[in-house]
Amino acid sequence: MTSLLDQLNWRYATKKYDPSKKVPADKLDRILEAVRLAPTSSGLQPFELIVVSNPEIREKIKAIGYQQQQIVDSSHLLVFAAWDQTTPERINMMFDLANDIRQTANEGWENYRQMLLDIVATRGAEVNFQFAARQAYIALGFALVAAAAEEVDATPMEGFDPDALDEILQLRQRGLRSVVILPVGYRDEAGDWLVGLKKVRRSRDALISEIA
C-alpha cells in the first residue's frame, strides 16, 4: 500500500493539465468530503466551496487570473470563499446545528456561544473576514492531501483578482468573498516542465525545532 508520505512526495503544484482527462465523480466526492470534514475554529466552518466546471465561466476566471491555463485545462476548479461577515445568525446556525445533531445542550456550551458572539461583535468585519479566510486555508490543506491520496493533481492559487472573481460568481450577494482557488485534474506528463524535478523543501532541522 502506498503511504501518505509517498503520495505527498508524488504531488506538486501542477503547471500543465491534460484537458482530456476528467476526475471521476467518486474521487472528486472524496476530495470534497475531506473539505467538509476539515477542522475549523469553534466548528464554525466559516466558508463555502464552489465547484466550477462550466467552461465559459472558467474562461472568465482565467482572464482575471493572469491567464493561468490550469484554470481552464483542469478537470474542475474549486473556489474557497469565506464569510464576508461573521454574523450572529451564522454563529447561531452552527451552534444550533451542533445541538440538533448531538441531541444535547449544556450550560457550558451555551456560555461559549455567548462568549463567541461577544468576541465577533467587537473585533470588526475585516478581522472577522481574515479569521474566516484562515479557516478556509485549513480546508484547502485537507483538499490537497485528499487529492494526493486519490492521485489527483491540484494547484493552489492566489493569483487572481478576488473582487472580479466575486463578481463573476456573484459571491457578495451570498455574503462570501473568494480567498483561494484550486484546479484539480491530471498532469500533462509531456507538457509540464515541473514533472520529474526533485521536490525542494528545507531540511527537517532547518524547518522544525523542538522545545522539550
CATH for 23: 3.40.109.10
Average pLDDT value for residue range 77-93: 97
Residue 137 main-chain phi, psi, to 5 deg: -70, -30
Of 140, 124, 122, 151, which is closest to residue 28 (Cα–Cα)? 151
The answer to the question of residue 124 being in a domain is no
128 within domain boundaries: no
pLDDT at residue 1 tops 90:
no
Domain holding 13, by residue range, is 4-84+135-207
Indicate whether 46 belongs to any domain: yes
- Mean residue pLDDT of the chain comes to 97
Q: Which grid coordinates belong to 44?
A: 464554525
Total number of domains in the chain? 1
Mapped onto helix, strand or coil, the DSSP state of residue 105 is coil
Per-residue model confidence as pLDDT tens digits over 132-168: 999 999 999 999 999 999 999 999 999 999 999 999 9
Q: Is residue 103 part of a domain?
A: no
| Residue 80 neighbours by CB under 8 Å, 6+ apart | 47, 49, 136, 137, 139, 140, 178, 179, 180, 181, 182
pLDDT tens-digit series, residues 99-133: 999 999 899 999 999 999 999 999 999 999 999 99
51 belongs to a structural domain: yes
